[in-house]
Structure formats: structure tokens, C-alpha cells
Structure 1
Amino acid sequence: MTKINPFITSGYISAKYFCDRITETTTLTRYITNGNNVALISPRRLGKTGLIEHCFHQQQIREVYHTFLIDIYATKNFQEFVFELGKGILNGLKPRGRKAWELFLKCLSSLRTSISFDFSGNPSWNLEMGDIKAPAITLDEIFRYLEEADKPCLVSIDEFQVIAKYPEGDVEAILRTHIQHCSNAKFIYAGLQRHMMGEIFTSPSRPFYQSTAIMELSPINVDIYTEFIKRHFAENKKKIAVETIQEVYKRFEGITWYIQFMANSLYAMTAEGEECTVDKVNFAIENILSQLNFTYSSLLFQLPPKQKEVLIAICKEGKAQEITSSKFLKTYKLTASSVQGAIRGLLDKDFVTNELGVYSVYDKFFDIWLRKRIS
């Protein structure tokens, strides 16, 4: 049988390829199996979705609950939210057999005529957005299913903070009302942008105030990651120097996805019987950047001039604070008004992240590529 690269960069395979998070898995599992909704907050690419999938694969959840993973990152309004919620639930039910998904379709009166079936008789979510003509009614039907389902349900909504940007001002209140009255389902609200998630769940004026347990993810300890990577190399008759792993961890600030991606590349570069030494880290990064060069060049070209100037200034700073201060403005020949306008666009497009007032380039590979370009 063909060996797989043990460092998974997307999706979830099994506990064997999942690094640590023992405490977080226990805590999240305890919360959701004891009737709590949970807000799971962390910077992007730190492993929120992987942790949720890992929890959903625990025996006490897998055998008792229906589990649904909903990603609303690309949604722009209430209609698109309802579309993704319905699609995610149907896709989650299909592997569980006809009895499971038939009840869901029975509840979806407003969409039943739009659902098609494949040659095996399984339903397909081939709807167009316009098929959801009354999203409030469709949402009522979805929650009726969750309440009547033959098993208790766990629903994870990824990138939950985007609902705060919907043009409809009452989506939080609508969802909170439905969730409050749905005893057969519990929800995990996964999100980044700590200030936005914090406002949704900790502001007394917001509908979700004090309605959830709150968890924050931190980077996995470097020693734990070192043992995880060394073990997988050793199991496949390869070696990796401790300083190699520590260099990767330091360069990418312990962020899970980048460590996995780099470990994946370093593993692929190392033959059986060989040792992966620290000098291979830069070689692996150069290979990755060469593959991304066209994409990054296009992204930079498409940026408006002011946004490009502010992005480069933040990149040069590394960790930029007080970006409207006279010192920052003078150093990079910017004006306060141009920075204020540009930073909104950069945050919306995910070029830049803001954690507790500290701005940095969101994509670490893009940051390295840009530094090389402007140095």
C-alpha cells in the first residue's frame, strides 16, 4: 500500500496524524456533550477546524450524535448563510443513509422541488442561491429538522464572525432565538478576529451575550510538536534534526498549518535513511515561494496603491503598532487618513491581521516573499 505523507495540510484523516490538543479535545468534548454551546476563538490556521473534526471523531460523539461542519467564510448575507447551512447539513447526513436524510428533506418544504437526486438515489444540493426565496422560512425548516432529528445534533459554524458584516442587521438576533429554542442541537461557533468574536459573545448589548462557553486556542508547545514530527519521520525510516523542527517553529511562530506544511515539504525532500538538517528549511521555503510567485505577484499588482504602501510598511515593521502615530507615518511617508482607509481594505481582504492592536501580514509565506521583494 502506498505510504501517505504523515503531515496533513488539509482535512482530517485520523487521530494518528493529529498533533496533541489533548486538553483542548477533552474540554471541548466535555462542553458540547454536557449541553453547552461553545465559542472557539483563535488566529486563523492555528487548527480550530482540525480540533473540531478531531472531537467529532471521538467515540462518545461519533456514535451518539449527528455532526455537521458548516463554513460560512465566503457568505455575504443572510440568504447565503442559510444556503450554506442547508448544504452542510445535507452533505453531513448523506453518509448516514436514507433514513437520516429523508427526514431532513421532509422538513425542507420550501426547497423540496429544487433538490435533485443522483443515479444512486442520493440527494444532491444542486440549488442555485435564488432557489432560497424566503431564507427566514428555510431557516425555520432547518431548525425544525434539528429539533426533530433522530439523534442529537452538533453543528460547527466556521468563520462565525462574518455574520457581523451581513447587511441585514438582525441575523444575530434571529439565530440566537432559533438556537435558544432548539433543545436537540448544540453549536460550536469557530472564529478569528478576536475583537469581532469578543464583541459578539461578550458585549451585553449583543444577542449572544453570555450564551456560550468560550475557548481560546494557543500554539502547540514546541517540545510536543518536536516529538510528533520526529516520531513520524522515524516511523518511516527517516530522521530529522531537533534544530530543524525548532527553526520551522520559530520562523512560523508555532502556527499549526505552516508547521504542517513545512513538515510535509521537508518529509518529501528526505529519503529513507537520510536526516533532514536545518539547512533544508530555507531550501523548502524557496521551493514553496517559487510555486506561489505568480499568485503573489498578481495579488500585489491588484492592490490599490495606498493599500500596497501600507501593506509594505506593515511588512517592514513585522509587528506594527500605532499605525497612525506620527512616528509610523513619518517613517513610511504616509498620512493618517490614507492609513485608516487602506487598513480597512487590507483587513477585509485578509492581507493583514490585527491581534490586540498589533498588525502583521496574515500569510506568512506572502510575508517572506514580500520581504525579499522590498529588501
Structure 2
Amino acid sequence: MVQTNPFVIEGYLSPEYFCDRIDETALLTRHLTNRCNVALIAQRRLGKSGLIHNCFYQKAIREQYHCIFVDIYDTKDLNEFVYALGKGILTALKPKGRKAWEFFVNMLQSLKSTISFDINGNPEWSVGIGDIQAPDTTLDEIFAYLEHADKPCIVAIDEFQTIASYPEKTVEATLRKRIQNCHNASFVFSGSKRHMMALMFTSQSRPFYHSSSIMGLEPIDRTVYRDFANRHLARNGKTISDEAFSYIYGRFDGVTWYIQYILNMLYTAISTDSILTTDDAKAAIAGILAQHRFAYQALVYQLTSKQKQVLTAIAAENGPTSIMSQAFLRKYGLGASTVQGAVKVLLDRDFISQDDGTYRLCDRFLEMYLQEELQ
């Protein structure tokens, strides 16, 4: 029998493999069952999606609601948003049986001719983005379905701040109006760009002002996370020392995805010792960087020499706050105009993030790779 690695990196399996978030799960569940929309705001890879799926798993929700999860991170305009939303709803309804998905398909009159069926008669989302000729019309049909579905719906839209960058400047307003008039669905607006999300939901000039309860996520408590790790490591006759776990937790600021990735590697590490040490943790990280080295080389190759220079300087400083200071510019041989131009590109392409005045690489493993390149 194949043994599942308990340290899940992508997706969600069950509460057994989900660490803590007991209070957050209870709060989110309470909001949604009270028909209250929620803006869930936290940095990337801290576990927002996992929390949402863990909430969907709760008996009070999974048996009473249609649960829909839509990731719009890669969408560029309203057409792509409508495409992602429609596909997400159909994906969620297919396992519920013909009655559930057939009603949705029949509501999509503007796309009905483009939805195909497999040999078993189940619908396939064969719609192309170009098939959505009138996104406002299709959006009306989707919301008509949500309003008249046989069960109340919970719709989680991940990376919701993306809609603020669409070329259509009325998307926030048009979505807010439809959501406000949809009484059979609750929404989770999940976002990782905290400044943008805060503006969307707390600025009086924005359509979503005071439309949702706001929840933030902090890193999982270190001791709780260590105990979770050791409970699962025990399956393989191992345990991780407090020093080793503290090293991992501190090196990645408690960000869930990185800790999970390293524990995933340690779970199957070839070691004769039952206690995993800091050296084992460092070896696991070195192995991850080695696996990613070729991809990181190709990624950085896309940048101009000045952009790479600025990216490397930010990585070396490990979270600088004053990249326009004379000290920073002199230390890395940069000009102010060079930094300004490069930072704009790096932010737009998600190489770096800016939060509370601090610049960090979005990928901490890439950050470590660049730091090694400097040595």
C-alpha cells in the first residue's frame, strides 16, 4: 500500500493533513453560514486556500452548500474572469450529479452551444475565452444560476485583487452590484496583495467598501506546527528536533508553504538517525535549490542586467525598506532611475512584493538561490 506523504504541498486532502487554523476555520465557517461575505487577506503561501478548503470540508458547510473555488490570478480582463468563474462552478457541480450541473448548463444560454459532453454524458468546459462574446450577459446568467441554485452557494475567489488591474474600469462596481443582489450565495474574496485588498474593502471611494468582514492570517504558532510535524514524522519513525524546526520556521518567517515543502522532503529523507537535525534541514533546503537551479537560471535570464542587479540586491538585503537611500544605491552600484524602473517591472511581473514598505522576493527559494550566487 502506497503511503501518503502527510506534508501536502499543493491542494487539500483532509483535516488530518491540515495544521491547526482551528479558530480561523470556526470564524470563517460562522461568517459564511450567517450569509456574511469575507475578505481574507494574507501574504502568499501562508495557507489562505487551504483554510478555505478546510472550511468547505466542515459538515455544516459541505452538506448544505455548493462550494465553489475560483483562482483568478492569471486572468487579464473581464472575459477571462467570466471564463474562470463559469469553469469553476461547473467543476464544483460535476461531482454532485446530473441534476446539479444540468440546471447550471441550461442557465448559460449564451454559451450552451459551446459546452460539450464526454462519452458518459458529463459536461466538459470546452468553452474558449473567445467564445465569450458578451461577458456581461454571461455574468448575468452565472449570477442568475447562483440566485436560483437548489442549494445556497459559497463562492471563493482567490487573488481577488487581480480585478483592480483589468482594463475595464467598472468591473469592481458591476461585480459589487451583482453580488449585493444575489441572496443565495456568500463570497470569500481572498487576496495576497494586502495593500490593494485593504484599499478595495476599506476605502470609501471603492465599490466594495464595508461590503465584507475582513479576516487576516498570521503564521501558525511555531510550537503547534512542530507538534503537527512530529506527529506525522512518527509514521516514518522520525522526529524533528526543536532546534531544526526553529531554524526552518525562522528562516521562512513561518510561511506555511515553505515549511511544508521542507518537511515533505525530510519525510522521505534517507537518514539512519531517528532525530532530524538542523544539518538535515539545511541539506533538504540545498536539495530543493539544486532541483530548482535550472528553472531559476532560465527565469532570471528573462531580465535585463539592471533588473537582475536590483533583484539580487533586494535578495541580498533580505527585506530592505529603503531601496532609494544613498547607502543602498552606493552599496550595489545602482542609480536611482535604474532602481525605479527595475522595481516597477519586478513588481508587475511578481518577482518582488512590497508590503508595509518592505521589499521581498515573492519566491523565498529564488531569494536563497540569488544569495548563494553572491557568495
Query: TM-score over 0.5 for the alignment?
Result: yes
Residue type of the alignment partner of 1:13: L
AA aligned opposite 2:275: E
CA contact (8 A) 2:236 2:267 kept: no
How do residues 1-375 of structure 1 correspond to structure 2 at under 5 angstroms? 1-270=1-270, 274-375=274-375
Deviations 1:19-39 (A, max 9, x none): 000110011111111011000
Q: Deviations over 1:13-58 (max 9, x none)?
A: 1100000001100111111110110000000000000000000000
* Contact 2:296/2:366, CA 8 A, preserved across alignment: yes
Residue 326 of structure 1, CA deviation: 2.4
Distance 1:205 1:304 in 2: 38
Q: Name the CA distance, whole Å, in 2 between partners of 1:50 and 1:92.
A: 16
SS in 1 for 2:86: helix
Give the whole-Å Cα distance in 2 for the aligned partners of 1:322 and 1:271.
43
Distance 1:348 1:182 in 2: 33
Name the aligned partner's letter for residue 325 of structure 1: S
Once superposed, what is the RMSD of the aligned Cα atoms?
1.2
Tell me if structure 2 keeps the 8 A contact 1:238–1:272.
no
Indicate if the aligned counterparts of 1:9 and 1:261 stay in contact, CA closer than 8 A: yes
Pairwise CA distance, 1:239: 2.4
Contact 1:236 1:272 survives alignment (8 Å): no
Give the partner amino acid of 2:309.
E
The code of the aligned residue for 2:90 comes to L
Q: Which consecutive unaligned segments of at least 5 residues does structure 1 have?
A: none
Structure 1 vs Structure 2: percent identity of aligned residues? 53
3-state DSSP of counterpart to 1:70: strand
- Measured in 2, the distance between the counterparts of 1:305 and 1:351 equals 15
- Structure 2 stretches lacking a partner, 5+ long: none
Deviation at 1:277, TM superposition (A): 1.9
Q: Deviations over 1:200-220 (max 9, x none)?
A: 111100000000000010100
SS in 1 for 2:268: helix
User: How far does residue 275 in structure 1 lie from its aligned partner after superposition?
Assistant: 2.5
Runs of 4+ in 1 over 4 A off after TM superposition: 270-273
1:273 is displaced (CA, Å) by: 7.2
Q: Which amino acid aligns with 2:82?
A: V
How many residues are matched?
375
Deviation of the 1:338 alpha carbon: 1.9
Q: For 1:230-285, what per-residue CA distance to the aligned partner results, in whole angstroms no more than 9, with x for missing partners? A: 11112342222222211111111100000000000011105687322221111111
